[in-house]
Amino acid sequence: MARGNKVSSAVIRRLPRYYRYLSELQNKGTTRISSGALGTAMGLTASQIRQDLSCFGEFGQQGYGYTVSSLREEVAEIMGITRGHSAIVLGVGNLGRALIENFPFSEYGFQVRAAFDVDPKIVGSSLQGIPVYDVKKLGEFLQNEPVNVGVITVPKQVAQKIANELVAVGVSGIWNFTNVEIAVPEGSAVVESVHFSDSLLALSYMISPRGTGDDDDEMDE
């Protein structure tokens, strides 16, 4: 829902997809693209593309289209990729490890400063050059080195507790992988959850007789 000039969450959700498609185009050597062609690739109409981008300013030229590299850079700037975010990972189980070892945080403008766990077997070690500290040192660490985002991959039983600690020290964002809802005081951190179960259940629906099987359209307005 757009409230005044607030950008709708549907548009915000599409921005990363623009970035992904524009990056692919750039990798393929495409230098410019029309809103129609970009729309076809993304499953949107040309006018939806123009409308989305108009939330952020004027891009492209009538009859010429968009310059892929500059639109990609603009979208990166809009999403804050260029702002130099810093992050810590809470919980170095399989998932925390998967993120640290395989997810290209730096491509998205995030630098992972440290990881935290309770397991004495991994506390004191490092992964991809990222030190793993005892979670008891979290407060102390953050006092010395403030970070923007806490990535939570702890067991769900301690998710809220860890989130409370992050909010208390003033992180701006929580990237939540615990499969439970995290509550934070209004106006404190933004919680962005990757609910694997929601995704699997949506898939379950789409492959069931009720689902149509072709509902991959992400336009919800």
Compute the least distance from the CB of residue 62 to a second copy, in Å.
26
Tracing tokens 């923007």 back to the chain, one arrives at: 148
C-beta closer to a second copy: residue 168 or 202: 202
C-beta closer to a second copy: residue 41 or 133: 41
C-beta closer to a second copy: residue 99 or 114: 99
d(CA 96, CA 132): 11
C-beta closer to a second copy: residue 123 or 154: 154
Within a 13 Å sphere around the CA of 216, how many CA atoms are in the beta-carbon half? 6
C-beta closer to a second copy: residue 61 or 197: 197
The DSSP result for 72-137, as a single string, is HHHHHHHHTGGG-EEEEEE--SHHHHHHHHH--GGGGTEEEEEEEES-TTTTT-EETTEEEEEGGG
Structure tokens at 139: 């407060």
Compute the least distance from the CB of residue 28 to a second copy, in Å.
13
Compute the least distance from the CB of residue 64 to a second copy, in Å.
26
Compute the least distance from the CB of residue 102 to a second copy, in Å.
6
Residue 127: C-alpha distances to residues 50, 112, 161 (Å): 43, 11, 25
Compute the least distance from the CB of residue 133 to a second copy, in Å.
20
Partners of 61 in the β-ladder? 65
Compute the least distance from the CB of residue 147 to a second copy, in Å.
11
C-beta closer to a second copy: residue 66 or 110: 110
Angle of helix 9-27 versus helix 46-54 axis, rounded to 10: 110
d(CA 219, CA 44): 7
